[in-house]
Structure 1
Amino acid sequence: MMMGRLIQRGAAATAVAITTTRAAHSAASFAVRPALLDAVKQLGFTKPTPIQSTVADALSSNTMRKPLIVGAQTGSGKTLAYVLPMLDELLQAPGRGCGLVVTPGKELCMQVTQVCYAVASKVGMKTVQMYSYDTLDQLNNPDVIVTTDTVLKTVDLSTLADRLCYLVIDEFDAAFTGTETTHLWSLIRQVAPGALKLSYLKRQRAIKLGLDPSEEEEHAVRPQVIFTGATLPDRGTKSTMAEVCSRLAPHIIVSTPKLHTPVDRLVQLFDFTCVTQEPSPAPRPIVNTTPLVTAVSRALDEGWKERQQHQHQQEAECSVDDGTSCKHARVCEYVSAALQQDASVLVFNNTVNSAIALSETLNARFGDAVRPLHKKIPPRQRSATLEAFKQGDVKVLCCTDLLARGIDLNVDLILQADFAQDVVSYLHRIGRTARNGKHGCAVSVVCDERLPLAKEIAAQLDSRRAQQWHSWRVAEAGTATEHDTSPEQDGADAGTAQRTTESSDVGISGVSGVGAATLSSLFSRNRSGRKRRQREQRSGGGVTKKGNKQRRRG
């Protein structure tokens, strides 16, 4: 099976795909120095993940230090994929160079700092987290600096350009869609100008001197720049991949075959009980699964039966306050089922006000087991809440997308009280569970506003699941062809095939992560569609505001 995909893009050359095969990795497969290898062993890492091996191979062959774009599935070990090569290079000349890691949020920044410190401290290297009030002189020559994109506006990094060996921008598709985009490009231009394409004036100057501008970009001296992310959107309003590639000099793209697919051993359920626009489809049974999924599925079945018995009353409740009453009731039932199984739960909301209102409802029923977490809570209190959640003192976090990216928590159940605004957010949310080979469950409570996107995602997952089930059944019969896939080829256990049903109807369903399809084809279905529907509703249906203006002028 193909382990990784390595695409090299140059100014004049077309994209060339280089595939590597999966091999039996051991601890010695980490291509690092013995001291760093011992540190990795002490932390319990015995073998590299596919993306870690592929990135190590790409960096070792990247003698020109071209920028590297790394894309891999959530929970695949992207942090260590760039931390280990960075520390290995810094060990060659300690004190002479440093690495800089930039993250889009404080929570992710703290987590990356902990990972870097856990490895670097065992080989005598210094890791610091930079705050807005810090200066480079106060940091006392660290080996690794971890900070957020917002801090870069207040810190002068000009003195760091001579010492910088590595520049890593983690979750770059989020960083380059926020308000700090200009500062990030300024940072790259300041500390790693060779990573960017030559400006128009520099290209014209090179042509006058009889030089080839593309060769000047190839031979520019630069620190190693790495962009990492679990999603590389190339279409829609969040198409940051195209912008980044257009600005970079010749670069390398490294990705895995499972990019943009739900994580393994994940059961996804869609609850359409609160939808009033059309009848709710009946749920299908899920067999041979975990006790948590069984309990959650039972709660879903009971909700559907209740709606069938009291359909008119339920629709009346859902029509009040945009379906808030129905949504809160459904979330309470799922949280109750999860707490009976002693499971940890993340409840995602799209806005802070929604998270506050839902947390109050959950607190009234479940007490101190539920805590809110959003940007209006002070950072120290957020850190304490996260630590309590990791220790098991808090079982339910009612949060926003503040915890959707990169955060590694031991979560058993993901609840979407508000359905994700786009496919990118959906992939990151459900990626908080079923990590490190564990099983997980994701339940999405769908209301009228997010119905079109939810149906498209469910249909995409269901169609791929039916194809995968058919391939497994053919393989079991001994008539598999070279195009058929098996659970073993996808890295799953043999029992995973029994967690799905043969039916391919679209509706409230449980979808195994092994049989899930890539969702990259739905990247264009994001907030732009929501805004278009809002304009149509304001204009009275079907005619946009621009059309109304033209009609009035006529």
Structure 2
Amino acid sequence: MNNTKFNELGLNEKILRAIEDMGFEEPSQIQAQVIPVVLEGFDVIGQAQTGTGKTLAFGAPMLNNLTRENNTIKGLILTPTRELAIQVNEELVRIAKHTNLRMLPVYGGQSIDRQIKAIKKGIDVVVGTPGRVLDLISRRVLDLDDIQFLVLDEADEMLNMGFVEDIEEIINNCNSYRHTLLFSATMPGPIKKIAQKYMKPDSKHVSILKNTMTVSTVEQYYYEVKQKDRFESFCRILDVDEPDTAIIFCKTKKGVDELVEAMLVRGYNVEGMHGDMNQSQRMNTLRKFKEDNLDFLVATDVAARGIDVENITHVINYDLPQDTESYVHRIGRTGRANKTGVAYTLVTAREYSVLKQIEKATKGKIKRKEIPTIDDIFNVKYSHMLEKVKETLEGEDYKRFVPIATELDDDYNLVDVAAALMNMVYDKEVSYDYTENSIGSSKSSHVRVFINVGRKDKLNPKTLLQFFNSEANVYKESIGSIDLLDKFSFVDIIEEDVDKVIRECSGKKLCGRRVNIEISNRSK
């Protein structure tokens, strides 16, 4: 793990304050290696997987070095999808919190007039998809003559989606003295050509090797949750699984404090550990945890270093870690001494792609689990109560209460009395005031459509994705499985985008054929 501190990288006080507010304690590998090089003025090729903290790696030094000489755009970040554009923009806003720099995400599917109006008011950094950026350039709204930083994020994904020509056209609209930062998980030939052609000869190549280590004794699962339901989902998981001893990981110190406070309110036996706590506090908390006087320990990655506790049954990633290496270290806290452990990760739909990258890098299988319902929780609690009642009936201690039970028998049915007592126990056992039997995940359902173009027309998945993107502004994140047959194909599209695809793509030409798209009755 990396031991460098953010304040050792050369960033100014405003950026460091923002990183502190975000709660990050130490930079990830790519952040530690890229930030100083960008601050020194070099172009950088950063090769690393999604989920390694690349946005902060290029965002912090870029915002650190931007100068506002006039009211023109100084930074442009290109991303393959609108979802990533929104995500990157949100993180840049957090990094620029203590500056007066202004950000704007631009992408298809949103009013271009609104984006034009915002740019004309004055924007310092634009984050956008290639198609919308080119549109704004062609309208003479986006002027890149004074640009200081050009960032190509997930360049290999942009290549896969057929954006190479668009990227080159955008680069040719930039000045020659800009700094160019290129980030990509892989380095195929066309990406190398772009780097050689458009980046300075002394550019630096930073490569973070994949970590293929994983823990074979750990069963790995994920729950897809809505952000607003994250804590309730977490409580439901604890109520059903009832872990004996668990470490719960948060990404930030603030996150640790907030989760511990929320858990204490609901009666959990829990304490937190993070870098703002002094050594004696941390040692005291760790001692309690080791001696089984704490059921749950909530920690950041940094604070959890050196924790060597046997018999941890569960590791729960309340937040996704910054990088794959941290994930491996986290889940390695359980499943020790040839025992089986369980690792749960909570993700939103937006974070799902990062989880898949972790799965790919660790060569492990992270299986999906459904968020427990109230019925699931009731059945678990009922089963445990029944076991306790049977155990008690096998002893003698309960007999001192027989006279009281006899009195109650005069006024009430003893079955009702038993049910009332069980209800009292249940209310104490359940941690959250659940109102709905189930809370839905953020995963959209897919609709299967028929399209009258197939393999004999030389159709392939890449061409089809480009077609949906160019004609309907629908991106690959909206597309599920693609089944190509000889004369036609079946495609799964998320429900909210189906009508748009049918409306915008029907009648258009694809592989030389006029397209007919309709909802299919055929099952998968």
Q: Fold match, TM over 0.5?
A: no
TM range (shorter): 0.3 to 0.5
Higher RCO (CA < 8 A, seq sep 6+): 1
Q: TM-score, normalised by structure 2?
A: 0.42
Q: TM-score, normalised by structure 1?
A: 0.40
